[in-house]
Structure 1
């Protein structure tokens, strides 16, 4: 038994005396426990709470005694306790907390900024000085009380550790920067409850919650998370333990029963409200109709008072049947080792330690005037003690009190090592003054082994580890009722959570395993469908398929996929439409490639013939250099096919945009230069020995380059201002083409504006040179070439613009360039090649220089044409 001393002090800060336990020590831990229930009327306190009040206090005293006897924690330093009764009453708890505040003010007055002193010049002490050494307060069980206390202690930077308050709002470091708790946040509990609902596919569920901080926060958390678990809470019901009577609770149960398909009810309320809901269900004979799922407050508190009464009390089978098959979620707990023996060793002499122990003893043993088993004055040592044989059962959250004490003790030990040094024993001067702001940093990072030998640490520097036990209330074969552990819900170090249920142990009613009823408004929609909610009950509705180009957003909405995307098979998201390119195995692409290959071969053949026979009259008359330029342009036109139909990238896009206009420009620039040269020579046939200017091969190449330069400038500026890039084109909702930017909006036609102008200019010179000598007169060939090219483009442009297939557009563009090049080969080169190869007898100077029958350049005795041509060096 703890060797503790008690100081029972009367406080006259209020009209009535206030008891508190003062265990002397070098460092003091404050405590605030609901020793009594909340009173009614003007009374702040009611009946004593044996489990929820006395046990947590005794658990704290027991843990402090263990630490004081442990040489590895705060060696030579003794922890003390100052504990008050909060009566589970927020306003009364604040009055009691003021005692810690006054001690804190005295501590600040002594160690920081002295503002008060006694008449003899000494510094004042509050109640002898023990309150000055309080470094942290263990408080409280109820979330509503805890929040009030936390708001007050925050102003004085005093650490507060709760052993049972689970409301999520307490996790806010902005609002409660000095608050800690050894239990997990209710958000984790809500996840655990929803995991159970999802496991059994209970999608249509009712919810009852209390009108308190605990109940409202639990309700809001469940509601915010429900959709992600595909659970819908229909018409949640709020109960008020202070304002509701039995008829009000009956109305709540009857309202839920009217929901035909609701068979599962989630109860998120404190002990009193939970008991009254159960009583209403029992009165209405509906207790066995529902599957109840309870929160931690429901499952931990009422198992003794409501379901497992002490042997001395008469069991009520109707109450037990109400909850048969119920499931409950409670923080994972373990019995505190040695605590049962500690309680069993206590007698009335412990009143010197716990000022409320005599009241507890009388209530536990039902002592009255007719049952003098225990008397105050002459206590019989053989009287029955508190033990399991007499109905004692350790509270399931006693170990959370133990964890709170050990958290502060280990944080103080780490501070002690830093200030006093490792190996030091007893209090050092540096530990005489401990600021709350300093201890908070050590608390946030403390680690130690809990009662189950698991590593304990505060999650996010505030909450206890999220570990829960899943319980199932079952009737055994002998007719007794008990809670059975059937699973757990834990969160791993990486933040992922997992629900584990042993379904072979789960029972609903009787001995049937897994005989739970269904709780759905309707059969679930197919994975690819959404549910259209009804107006009267938003949890119910009918299923509908999303559109062909829509995907599911949640369970009730469809949205269109962005352009270029289409829904996946499961309709849960959109995936990019596969990019399409010109299929090189398609007949269209093969035709374009075949035409280009044939054209390249024919162009190479023509070039080789012109090279081999370049000294013959007909080749010389054709203008060898310009012919080579023309052949190069023709050759490039065929090569463009491979750039156009290749998979687009920035390089091929730049080549295509630059090349398709340049090829045509190069060809017609050479033709314009050629026809202009002939025109100028034969329009200047005189007796003057002076030849026309700029008719030499070098001049002709320069003129060709100058004529081509505008196209080069246009393309260069165009590429500079709008660099070539690859974009996606969507001619239809289910087609996605990867193309060069501008290919789908005909802006590529800009490159053909200048070549078209050269085509008309070339046609004009062809007409003007139609009466030149036979070997120089290519007017009809050039004219035919131009007319044919124009017809090809007139046919190509409408087809190009009207086509919705980018693949066909690319093939048409390639074929058009190839056909234009074929026309040039056929009209301008093949006639000469035919004469060179098949009619060599016509490849003479006399025949080349012979006049056309309609020629106006008739020879005279003084100015023969041959002489003029020779003078002009037209043969080069």
Structure 2
């Protein structure tokens, strides 16, 4: 038909008539025969071999075909040596695009490389990762399943089974293939096969009563009328696949109708049909619409291949003027020009890329059934230029609820669950949850990645979260309360110090220790000032200063209390019973020596601690998974414990002297006051250490501040507040006469007791 149109055209090749020979490539023998016959030189029945084929002329200047890749390999290999153009309309094997091996090969059908990409896109679109692949046992099928296997493996799709369909009367191997597919439990099978092998395969699929499987077909058989006409074919499941781009080609319908209905052809068919030729028996007018639907796209590919040669000749013969030249055209010249053609037929642009492949893509076809009649529905397309698969929104799946069939070996793991492969296929796995402080990275689904040191994650997590930085800021509500109490207590301490300084020579102040009271109050004020170092981010200076300075200042305070308690006991008890010891204490300034020695011991403990292992600001990552606690190192260390134990030792001495002086005159009896202060101190630090054992958060610093606050408050309330009360509200008790009368009463009681 193409030859007739071109010869009847007045513009394409005017005054030039094209002729042709037809060869049936039904076997390797006839295929090679046709190729070699066309290499014969004009008017000669032989092929003269020579080194230079520049001026070599063949019987035919170009060839269209053959239809299969297997035959095309032979033809392209031979013709390529002579640079004779070979344009196939149906050979799709990717290797034919190799211009080094096949320099003269071109085609008007896309290569299998593109077809494999389309099938892979279909598998990915519907998340089918557990599939079987079968192909015809020829170059077309072997190369197709090999490429698809490679590409599928790269994209996380597992091939549960693959096999080759032989073209043989012995169906044993095909039956075994069908059984193996069923045993793999796949729900999707790709059939990359030539149509005659596919017919054999689906006959056995029907015989085995295989149902509910999605069959993805290659372009060779997806629109094959004979497979679609099999009885009960619709029970096998859903059928979709890749088809050569559909072109509405009305001329070929009329051409075929006129040809088949001609009296000559009718007589020939009727006379040649017999019981052996089954295809011949089915070739009637009734089957013609089905036949042309199947063959239309391939007919157009052959049609456009002939036109490509004609357009190339149009340029070589300079036919633009309305008359073509009589120049001799050599095959290599035609090959160069065919590669450059670019024209339009039936709204289809025809040209070849550098590999000799067309720019066309593929259509996606899905089978549906109206009764027992199979209908090929166009459901989408794949563009070669954009490499994008487009499908209709609603597809008719042959399932109970029209849901997309699922074909996976193992269900996808949940959030934060890693895969543990259970077999040879990566698609078969168990799901293990990721533990805390790890996450599942989408780039590696088989291992849980650890979070960074400044990050955290719960169990079953697919990402890490930034840890919150925790410390006791100035603006925290709890901090504001503590700061207010510190400042208030510091002002009270200063006020008491001022009051005692003004009344330094009064009997109440002298009985409380006199100038030692000022030392005690100063040490308590310093202790309170160290509490300001517990707020905001810990620094090197604040960590090294706050605890040692508190320990030394508090030691001075307790040493003064011990000295005061001892002196009172000495005056009333030891002065008469042990006068020599009392004289030594008074003459050698025992009180000052004891305070100095006690303070020096505490200072030495602090110096050794700081020198050996000084406290430093650290970030605690281990206590809380989602927090970073900023604190000072060694909050409870050997050095800090030594300081606290030494203060506790002084407190025990206080208890001893308080017990010894429990029967002293009321104005000199400090037992109750000191005991109250010591009890508050002990309870405060017991509460702190208990909290330290069970809690290590940012508010531990606040608990430490509270312990110091209560310790200072205990001394102020238990030791100094009663004296302040007498000074301010009971001045009549703050006289020498009152204190002397109290001493006289105590002496009389002691004499009466003796």
Give TM-score, length-normalised by structure 2.
Answer: 0.56
Equivalent residue number for residue 712 of structure 2: 821
Give the match for residue 27 of structure 2. Answer: 39
Q: How does 1:341-490 map to 2 (within 5 A)?
A: 391=292, 393-395=295-297, 469-476=363-370, 480-487=373-380
Tell me if structure 1 keeps the 8 A contact 2:195–2:220: yes
Distance across 1 between alignment mates of 2:363 and 2:244:
5
Cα distance change, pair 839–654 in 1 and its aligned pair in 2 (3 A): farther
Note the 1:530-541 alignment, pairs <5 A.
Answer: none
Partner of 1:327: 239
- Give, in whole Å, the separation in 1 of the partners of 2:587 and 2:373: 135
Give 1:609's match in structure 2, choosing from 463, 483, 496.
Answer: 496
Tell me how far apart the structure 2 counterparts of residues 258 and 635 of structure 1 sit (CA, whole Å). Answer: 82
Corresponding position of 1:724? 618
* DSSP 3-state at the match of 2:553: helix
State the partner residue of 2:73.
Answer: 93
Q: Which residue of 1 aligns with 2:314?
A: none
Structure 1 residue 483, shift from structure 2 partner:
0.7
| Conserved 8 A contact 1:673-1:703 | no
Cα deviation digits, residues 456-502 of structure 1 (max 9, x gap): 999xx99999976432223446x643311234578997x98664343
The one of 95, 98, 104 equivalent to 1:147 is: 95
Distance 1:800 1:257, change over 3 A: closer
Shift in Å, 1:629: 4.5
**Contact residue 134 and residue 164 of structure 2 kept, 8 A:** yes
Q: Deviations over 1:531-590 (max 9, x none)?
A: 999999999999999799899999xx99989795334xxx67477699798999xxxx99
CA distance in 2, matches of 1:846, 1:396: 133
How far apart, in 2, do the equivalents of 1:492 and 1:597 lie?
75
> Aligned pair in 2 of structure 1 residues 572, 565: CA closer, same or farther (>3 Å)?
closer
CA distance in 2, matches of 1:488, 1:537: 35
Change (3 A) 1:98 1:390: closer
Residue equivalent to 1:70: none
2-structure distance, mates of 1:852, 1:279: 127
Tell me the distance in 1 between the aligned counterparts of 2:302 and 2:674. 101
CA deviation vs aligned residue, 1:414-437 (integer Å, no higher than 9, x gap): xxxxxxxxxxxxxxxxxxx99xxx
Q: How does 1:312-711 map to 2 (within 5 A)?
A: 317-318=229-230, 321=233, 326-330=238-242, 333-335=245-247, 391=292, 393-395=295-297, 469-476=363-370, 480-487=373-380, 499-503=391-395, 506=396, 508=398, 565-567=457-459, 573=462, 597-598=484-485, 600-611=487-498, 614-617=501-504, 618=509, 621-622=515-516, 624=518, 627-637=521-531, 643=535, 651=537, 657=543, 661-662=547-548, 664-665=550-551, 667-668=553-554, 670-671=556-557, 710=607
Structure 1 SS opposite 2:376: strand
**Partner secondary structure for residue 488 of structure 2:** helix
In structure 2, the gaps of 5 or more residues are 1-5, 7-11, 36-59, 260-264, 273-287, 312-331, 334-338, 567-582, 745-754
Q: What residue number does 2:224 align with?
A: 303
- The alignment partner of 1:297 has SS state of coil
**Aligned residue among 121, 125, 129 for 1:195:** 125
1:386-430 Cα deviation digits (max 9, x unpaired)? x98994843269679989x99xx9xxxxxxxxxxxxxxxxxxxxx
Among 152, 168, 175, the alignment partner of 1:250 is 175
Q: Which has the larger radius of gyration?
A: 2
Distance 1:779 1:502 in 2: 94
Matched residue of 2:13: which SS? coil
Structure 2 distance, partners of 1:81, 1:488, is: 36
Using a 3 Å threshold, how does the CA distance of structure 1 residues 241 and 6 change in structure 2: closer, same or farther? Answer: farther
**Is 1:281–1:322's contact at 8 Å kept on the other side of the alignment?**
no
Residue matched to 2:570: none
For 1:800, the equivalent position in structure 2 comes to: 692
Residues 784 and 274 of structure 1: CA distance in aligned 2, closer, same or farther (over 3 Å): same
**Structure 1 residue 612 displacement after superposition:** 5.3
The answer (yes or no) to whether the contact 1:653–1:725 under 8 Å persists in 2 is no
Question: Residues 541, 221 of structure 1: CA spacing in aligned structure 2 closer, same or farther, 3 A cutoff?
Answer: closer
Do 2:109 and 2:244's aligned partners in 1 also have CA atoms closer than 8 Å? no
Correspondence list, 1:24-63, <5 A = 39=27, 43=29, 45=31
Where 1:3 maps in the other structure, the secondary structure is: coil
Give 1:277 shift: 0.7
Aligned-partner Cα distance in 1 for 2:30–2:195: 19
Q: CA deviation at 1:507?
A: 6.8
Once residues 203 and 33 of structure 2 are traced to their aligned partners in structure 1, the CA distance between those partners, rounded to angstroms, is 21
Sort the Cα spacing of 1:558 and 1:742 in 2 relative to 1 into closer, same or farther, 3 A.
farther
1:253 partner SS: helix
Distance 2:352 2:519 in 1: 89
Distance in 2 of aligned mates of 1:591 and 1:632: 22
- Cα distance between partner residues in 2 of 1:514 and 1:562: 44
Residue 330 of structure 1, CA deviation: 1.8
2:752 equivalent to 1:752? no
Note if contact 1:728-1:737 (Cα within 8 Å) is conserved in structure 2: no
Structure 1: any 5+ residue segments left out of the alignment?
Answer: 9-18, 22-34, 50-79, 103-126, 168-182, 308-316, 349-363, 372-386, 410-432, 435-441, 644-648, 731-735, 854-876
Equivalent residue number for residue 580 of structure 2: none
RMSD: 7.3
- Describe the SS at the equivalent of 2:209: coil
1:605, CA displacement in angstroms? 1.8
Supply the distance in 1 between the matched residues of 2:69 and 2:297 (Cα, whole angstroms): 21
User: In structure 2, do the counterparts of structure 1 residues 222 and 84 end up closer, same or farther at CA, with 3 Å as the change threshold?
Assistant: same
- The residue matched to 2:501 in structure 1 has which SS? coil
Instruction: Please give the secondary structure, in 2, of the residue aligned with 1:724.
Output: strand
SS at match of 2:717: helix
Write the deviation string for residues 586-617 of structure 1: whole angstroms up to 9, x where unpaired: xxx99998677556433322222323553331
Distance of 1:804 and 1:559 partners within structure 2: 34
Residue equivalent to 1:271: 195
Q: Measured at CA, do residues 327 and 469 of structure 1 come closer, stay the same or move farther in structure 2, by a change above 3 Å? A: farther
User: Structure 1's 304 and 622: CA in aligned 2 closer, same or farther, altered over 3 A?
Assistant: same
SS of the counterpart of 2:166? coil
Give the secondary structure class of the aligned counterpart of 2:458.
Answer: strand
What is the CA–CA distance in structure 2 between the aligned matches of 1:657 and 1:84, rounded to whole Å?
91
The 8 Å contact of residues 519 and 557 in structure 2, kept in 1 or not, is answered as no
Cα offset, 1:251, TM superposition: 2.8
**SS in structure 2 of the partner of residue 238 of structure 1:** strand
Given the superposition, is the C-alpha separation of residues 298 and 852 from structure 1 closer, same or farther in structure 2, using an over 3 Å criterion? farther
Task: Pick the structure with more helix per residue.
Answer: 2
Tell me, yes or no, if the aligned pair for 2:89 and 2:108 is still in contact at 8 Å. yes
Residue 238 of structure 1 aligns with which residue?
Answer: 163
- 2:13 aligned to which of 3, 22, 40: 3
Which residue, out of 188, 209, 234, partners 1:286? 209
Distance, in Å, in 2 between the alignment partners of 1:711 and 1:457 is: 89
**Shift in CA distance, 149/164, structure 1 to aligned 2, threshold 3 Å:** closer
Offset of residue 197 of structure 1: 6.8
- Does the C-alpha gap of structure 1 residues 142 and 663 become closer, same or farther in structure 2, counting only changes over 3 Å? farther
Whether the aligned pair in 1 keeps the contact of 2:31 and 2:75 (CA below 8 Å) is no
Are the aligned partners of 1:532 and 1:542 in contact in 2 as well (CA < 8 Å)? yes
